[in-house]
Amino acid sequence: MPKGSENKMGVKPIPSLVLSMSFPIMLSMLVQALYNVVDSLYVSHYSQDALTALTLAFPLQNLLIAVSVGTSIGINSLISRKLGAQDKTAANKAAGNGITISVFSWLLFALLGLLFTRRFIGFFTRDAELLRMGHLYSAIALFFSLGIFIDITCERILQATGDTVRPMIIQMTGAVVNIILDPILIFGLFGAPRMGVVGAAVATVFAQHVSALMAIHYVRKNKEVVIKKSDLVLKWKTVKDIYAVGLPSIIMQSIATLLNTSLNKIIIGFGTSAVAVFGIYFRLQSFIFMPIFGLNSGLIPIIGYNYGARRPTRIKEAIRVGVIVSIVIMGSGFLLFTFIPHIFLGWFNASEAMVAIGVVAMRRISLCFLSAGVCIVLGAFFQATGDGYVTMITSVTRQLVFLLPAAYLLGRFFGLDALWFSFIIAEGASLVLTLFFFFKLYKSKIGPLATGA
């Protein structure tokens, strides 16, 4: 193929390619973070119990996102590798199978929303009002989750072809719809009924379906990947290749659901204010972590394409640029969480007790931001080269072997303020393990490319 006609991921200078690929995705991920943050901001002014209910429901939403994002990472990785190898037929099949998988995933969560949400919220509390609000919010979010599955899948298809601008437009449109509808449905403005947490859920799923319709439209217009009806029929090898990368990512992110559930159970022992603060932290930290996950998403097709095209120098440069960008972003997040946490807490109408808890929590947890950013960027290398299981191993170790036991022991013997140090312990261990796997796999996978083996 003449160089001028090749996909930009194989020819464009790496620094500008990483930034041009990643920035729109970073912005998209920030906008996606607005869904939960905006819900929480408005709901916190509705009542503290409503904010606590959303925090208790968050692990189920996190599980939903884990499956949708994890699967789409597998789709993205496979498409980019096939495009790099100039196998467009296989790339089309991967995209079509990905859409079919997303529909089956939605059916699973629709059933989960109908049958399981009340029991899940009841695991944390017997308070009738918290139980009612948490159940209604999570049931609506899960049953009407087709929008988010289709949206995320189609966005990753576009990103795999090098199109990162349209996914940004899709996310921004959905966020604007959500921001407009939230106060109207939560507080009953302009003649609408006052729906509280139900209104927050309805606004969110409606916005997700608007994004899904836009995403489908843009995928149909994309010329790099053309999906035919036959591509929608599941093919075992394609599904296997998608989940070779996607399943470890799903497991990795699903463990975060288990972690959040367990941490909520531990923290609620210190009172509902502590749970509300933990929920606020998770929503605020998403504005720091989401750009890094966007950077990860931008790096995966770049590394995957050049791995398929056997270009080790471009892979090395992409990783170097990614690490530098992550350090800048996470360093900025550390400074914000250290010096102005009280301002952030004020956005959520935090009580004096919540501010006292939250300032300590945010300052201590933010100490691990830099190491977490490096781990996420290096995870793009594992996922792009088909070694997503490594990210799963490091995530399981970080969350279940270090974070959860440390949180329980520190909280039990030293109190709530000490509990937050568990995040630092876990991220330090994760960094050591990630670096070990990275150097080992980089030598075995990229070394032969450099020598022409």
Taking only the tens place, the pLDDT of each residue in 269-291 is: 898 888 888 888 888 888 888 88
Q: Which residue has the tokens 């090749």?
A: 6
Provide the number of structural domains found in the chain: 1
Whether 38 shows a pLDDT value over 80: the answer reads no
For 393-407, the pLDDT digits (tens) are 888 899 889 999 999
Give per-residue pLDDT as tens, 204-219: 999 999 999 999 999 9
Does residue 304 fall inside a structural domain? Answer: yes
pLDDT at residue 320 in the model: 93
Give the residue, 78 or 41, on which the prediction is more confident: 78
Q: What is the mean pLDDT of the chain?
A: 87
Which residues touch 415 (CB under 8 Å, ≥6 apart)?
Answer: none
Report the alpha-carbon distance of residue 244 to residue 373 in Å, rounded. Answer: 24
Residue 418 confidence (pLDDT) above 50: yes
Q: Judge whether 451 lies within some domain.
A: no
pLDDT tens digits along 338-368: 999 999 998 888 888 899 999 999 999 999 9
Q: pLDDT class for 452, splitting at 50, 70, 90?
A: low
- pLDDT digit string, tens, across residues 73-105: 889 888 988 887 788 889 999 999 999 999 999
Average pLDDT value for residue range 295-314: 85
Residue carrying structure tokens 């994002």: 69
Place of tokens 């403005």: 189
- Buried b vs exposed e over 391-424: b needs ≥16 C-beta within 10 Å? bbbbbebbbeebbbebbbebbeeeebebbbbbbb
**Token duo for residue 102:** 């997303």
Look at 218-222, 245-249, 325-329 and tell me which has the smallest mean pLDDT: 245-249
Residue ranges making up the domain that contains 248: 11-445
Q: Does residue 129 register a pLDDT over 70?
A: yes
Identify the weakest region by mean pLDDT among 136-140, 196-200, 221-225, 444-448.
444-448
b/e for 203-212, b at 16 or more Cβ within 10 A?
bbbbbbbbbb
Instruction: Give the pLDDT confidence score for residue 304 in this predicted structure.
Output: 84
Contacts of 347 (CB under 8 A, 6+ apart): 41
Residue 165: the pLDDT is 84
Residue 386: is its pLDDT beyond 80? no
Please compute, for residue 160, the number of CA atoms within 13 A of its CA located in the half-sphere on the CB side: 33
- The answer to whether position 2 is within a domain reads no
Q: Is 450 inside any structural domain?
A: no
Residue 4 has pLDDT above 70, yes or no: no
Buried b (16+ CB within 10 A) or exposed e, 274-299: bbbbbbbbbbbbbbbbbbbbbbbbbb
453 lies in some domain? no
